[in-house]
Amino acid sequence: MKKIFMAGIIASLLFSASASAEKLDDNVPLGQEIGSFWVAAVSDSEKYVVNSERDIIGGPFVYVSDYGGFVYASNPDGSYVLFDLDGSILCETPASDSIIYPENGIYAVMRGVSDGGDYDLCTAFEIYDYTTGEKLCTLDRPVLYYLEQQTDKMVIENDEGKLAFINKYGELQSDYVYDEVKKRFNPDYMPYPKAYAIVVQDGVEKYIDWDLNEIDLDNYNGQPFITNCSYPVNEHNEKNTDYYIMESGDKTGLYDIAEDKYVIPLQNEFEIIGVMDNTYVYIQNDIGDGINNAGMLDMDGNLIIPLEYSYLDHLGGDAFRYEKSIGSDENGIFRMEYGIIKNGRVVFAGDKYVQDILGDGLIVLFYPDPDESYEYAHNYTDYIYEIVNYAGHNMTNDTYTAYDYTDGVLYTSHAYHSDEPPTEPVDISRDFAVIDLNGKYLDFDGVIRDDRTLVPVREIVEGLGGTVEWNGSERSVRAVIDGRTIDLTIDSAVMTVDGTDNELDVPAQIINEKTMIPLRAVSEAVGASVDWDGSIRCVYINKDM
Residues whose CB falls within 8 Å of the CB of residue 88, separated by 6 or more in sequence, listed in order: none
d(C-alpha 200, C-alpha 191), whole Å: 27
What is the model's pLDDT at position 15? 40
Domain boundaries, the chain: 1-90, 231-351, 352-426, 432-542
HEC string for 336-350 = EEEEEEECCEEEEEE
HEC string for 49-104 = EECCCCEEEEEEECEEEEECCEEEEECCCCCEEEECCCCCEEEEECCCCEEEEEEC
Q: Which tens digit of pLDDT belongs to each residue from 302-351?
A: 999 999 999 999 988 899 999 998 887 787 778 899 999 998 899 999 99
Give how far Cα 425 sits from Cα of 68, 411, 422, 428, Å: 46, 4, 10, 9
Q: Are 267 and 252 in contact (CB under 8 A)?
A: yes
SS3 content of the chain, % helix, strand, coil (to 5): 5, 50, 40
Q: Which tens digit of pLDDT belongs to each residue from 18-55?
A: 434 578 888 888 999 999 999 999 988 899 999 989 99
Fold of 1-90: Thrombin, subunit H (2.40.10)
pTM: 0.71
What is the model's pLDDT at position 327? 82
Q: Determine how many CB atoms are found less than 10 A away from the CB of residue 188.
A: 8
Which among 356, 357, 345 is positioned nearest to 540, based on CA atoms?
A: 345
Hey, is 182 helix, strand or coil?
strand
Q: Are 484 and 468 in contact (CB under 8 A)?
A: no
Residues whose CB falls within 8 Å of the CB of residue 7, separated by 6 or more in sequence, listed in order: none
Q: Determine how many CB atoms are found less than 10 A away from the CB of residue 102.
A: 23
Which among 52, 51, 82 is positioned nearest to 64, based on CA atoms?
A: 82
What is the model's pLDDT at position 292? 82
Residues of the chain with pLDDT below 70 are 1-21, 114-119, 145-149, 187-191, 219-222, 289-290, 370-381, 417
d(C-alpha 252, C-alpha 273), whole Å: 10
Give how far Cα 238 sits from Cα of 67, 115, 147, Å: 24, 40, 23
Which among 327, 419, 343, 414 is positioned nearest to 377, based on CA atoms?
A: 419
What is the model's pLDDT at position 3? 38
- The arrangement of strands across the sheet holding 261-267 comes to 228-230, 243-248, 251-256, 261-267
- What distance lies between CA 265 and its chain's CA centroid? 27
d(C-alpha 83, C-alpha 127), whole Å: 17
Q: Are 56 and 22 in contact (CB under 8 A)?
A: yes
Residue 15 is given by DSSP the state I
Please tell us whether the domain made up of 432-542 is placed in CATH 3.30.457.10. yes
Which among 449, 463, 468, 440 is positioned nearest to 512, based on CA atoms?
A: 449
Long-range contacts of 135-143 (CB under 8 A, 24+ apart): 136/106, 136/168, 136/169, 136/170, 137/168, 137/169, 137/170, 137/171, 138/170, 139/170, 142/110, 143/108
HEC string for 429-475 = CCCEEEEEECCEEEEEEEEEECCEEEEEHHHHHHHCCCEEEEECCCC
Cα within 13 Å of Cα(12), Cβ side: 9
φ, ψ of residue 147 in degrees (nearest 5): -75, -10
What is the model's pLDDT at position 372? 60
Q: Are 282 and 276 in contact (CB under 8 A)?
A: yes
Hey, is 147 helix, strand or coil?
helix
Q: Are 321 and 315 in contact (CB under 8 A)?
A: yes
Q: Are 122 and 110 in contact (CB under 8 A)?
A: yes
